Structure 1
């Protein structure tokens, strides 16, 4: 698969995971202090793992899926902690996708 097609798939999957598969409850409760039904860590890990699974399935590189899970969780946690914008949040997530494509194309 060429780099552009891979990037399109990763970005499309990102938006499905972030906006279609993420429930309102998950979006609210994945932050410390906003967790009413489950500890916030469970919500955050579940959401980040959805992204990791998508990356692993698309790239066929499970290690990139793990990296995506960790970085997605860190970015979302920082977004809640530092209260940065949705635009910056999405830019950081998309930067990760560019890095994954770069790593795959390079090797």
Structure 2
């Protein structure tokens, strides 16, 4: 079931509806990637990062990066859910955000491409909603 906001934008249709959905999701993305992510998740989600400063100089729990990356992706998915109300988009965002951030942490892509991929996902979500594909 779509949120009231998403339903209004689907009814509005066209570029205006998709644009407002995209704007809302971009605001949510900025909140989720910066203030809501914080230094801990931003650092610990990278399996190559030195996280000893968070754990009294010790190595920290084995596999902690998986928990941190998943927590961050869940925050982003939750934001998409609050904006759209779409369970399909929640699952898509959880998986896609996790994979995009993983490949960024592996340095297979640049920060700029990482952000462009996140924006691209939000664009696809907005168009899919307004086009009635979800």
TM-score by length of 2: 0.75
Give CA-to-partner distance per residue, 1:31-78, whole Å, 9 cap, x none. Answer: 113354441000000000000011011011011011101100000000
Unaligned runs of 5+ in 2: 1-8, 10-16, 52-58
Looking at structure 2, the residues matched to 37 and 8 of structure 1 have their Cα atoms a distance apart, in angstroms, of 38
- Cross-structure match for 1:3: 18
Q: Cα distance, 1:85 vs. partner?
A: 2.0
* Runs ≥4 residues deviating over 3 A: 35-38
Counterpart residue number, 1:25: 40
Structure 2: distance between partners of 1:14 and 1:42: 20
RMSD of equivalent CA atoms: 1.3
Judge conservation of contact 1:53–1:65 (CA < 8 Å) in 2: yes
**1: CA distance between counterparts of 2:72 and 2:108?**
18
Determine the structure 1 residue equivalent to 2:67: 42
Once the two structures are TM-superposed, the CA of residue 83 in structure 1 deviates from its matched residue by 4.5
Secondary structure of the 1:32 match is coil
Map 1:37-76; keep pairs closer than 5 Å: 37-38=60-61, 39-76=64-101
Deviation, structure 1 residue 104 = 0.3
Greater helix percent: which structure?
1
5+ residue gaps, structure 1, are: none
The alignment of Structure 1 onto Structure 2 pairs a total of residues equal to: 107
Between the aligned partners of 1:47 and 1:37, the Cα distance in structure 2 is 18
